[in-house]
Structure 1
């Protein structure tokens, strides 16, 4: 019972921290400036790990320190789960961490697509709507080029959601088959 409560807390904290670091990475890849409130939240919540990692890693066009930081947080959360239960097997921890890492990336994309859909239905002119739209544009643009509007409705977000779900299953199965 206490272990499951502990794991709930570890998973919640890890998912927030890693999610923020993944968002920080994606914002730079997409080259979109987040609204001030979102930017402050993201940077204040991730600077404690990203800044020391930047001292170790040379600078480049992408914020690799954020991506590595997200992976490190995932590894630590897996160690907390697997390490307590079944001992310390480095290969298992790395494989489970990779599975969770890719799952969180795909789930993050799914979440931004759902948020954009909600904005389009409720308030397309909300202050965060352009930011979320810019985050999703690299995923949606290739499909929008080949998929016409059907009855004036853009179904490309639905197709991307399905493709992301397929990707989660394929990557998870592939990585877990290596174990």
Structure 2
């Protein structure tokens, strides 16, 4: 359980680092310091092997997958075959991505209710904008209420169910 919590925290930091650089959002100094200090030990050596291509920090994404693979390798000790462990790691990696997006959407909803002018609110909005922009084109405002956050969470939950069904077939 402790290994899983540590892996999830580190994997989340690596995925956040990848997403911030992919959409070119400058994080507040506290978030940047936390994210980079937590993940630099893995990302810097990986960058020597996997350089950034197309403006994406592939080392952060691959690092997150390596962390989930390492955390999932405990199943190998339980008698699972290597391909089964690899598929379980891939499923868990994709689940981390979906849960990360859901968490960002929930944080944005909380900010909008409690304090829309909080120092981190613009940063979280910028992280969510690539997800919400296409939905906002389709889902109109209801009065002054923006339902795109709710629609995005529902779509992510559907993606999670589909992912679970795809990997349950194995």
Q: TM-score, normalised by structure 1?
A: 0.92
What is residue 60 of structure 2 aligned with on the other side?
A: 66
Aligned match for 1:127, one of 90, 113, 119: 119
Query: 1:84, CA displacement in angstroms?
Result: 2.7
Q: Distance in 2 between matches of 1:172 and 1:37?
A: 35
Question: Residues 72-126 of structure 1: CA distance to partner in whole angstroms, max 9, x if unpaired?
Answer: 000000012x023225x11001100011000000000000000000000000000
Unpaired segments of 5 or more residues in structure 1? 1-7
The question of whether the paired residues in 1 share the 8 Å contact of 2:76 and 2:82 is answered with no
Question: Residues 49-87 of structure 1: CA distance to partner in whole angstroms, max 9, x if unpaired?
Answer: 00010001133210000000000000000012x023225
What is residue 141 of structure 2 aligned with on the other side?
A: 149
Q: Distance in 2 between matches of 1:102 and 1:63?
A: 17
The question of whether the paired residues in 2 share the 8 Å contact of 1:74 and 1:97 is answered with yes
Matched, 1:109 2:101: yes
The question of whether the paired residues in 2 share the 8 Å contact of 1:98 and 1:175 is answered with no
Aligned match for 1:32, one of 25, 30, 48: 25
The question of whether the paired residues in 1 share the 8 Å contact of 2:51 and 2:59 is answered with no
Q: Distance in 2 between matches of 1:59 and 1:29?
A: 10
Query: 1:173, CA displacement in angstroms?
Result: 1.7
Look up the SS of the partner of 1:151 in the other structure: coil
Q: Distance in 2 between matches of 1:84 and 1:157?
A: 41
Query: 1:151, CA displacement in angstroms?
Result: 2.1
Unpaired segments of 5 or more residues in structure 2? none
* 4+ residue segments displaced more than 4 Å: none
Q: Distance in 1 between matches of 2:160 and 2:52?
A: 30
Aligned residue-pair number: 169
Q: TM-score, normalised by structure 2?
A: 0.96
**How well do the aligned residues superpose, as a CA RMSD in angstroms?**
0.9
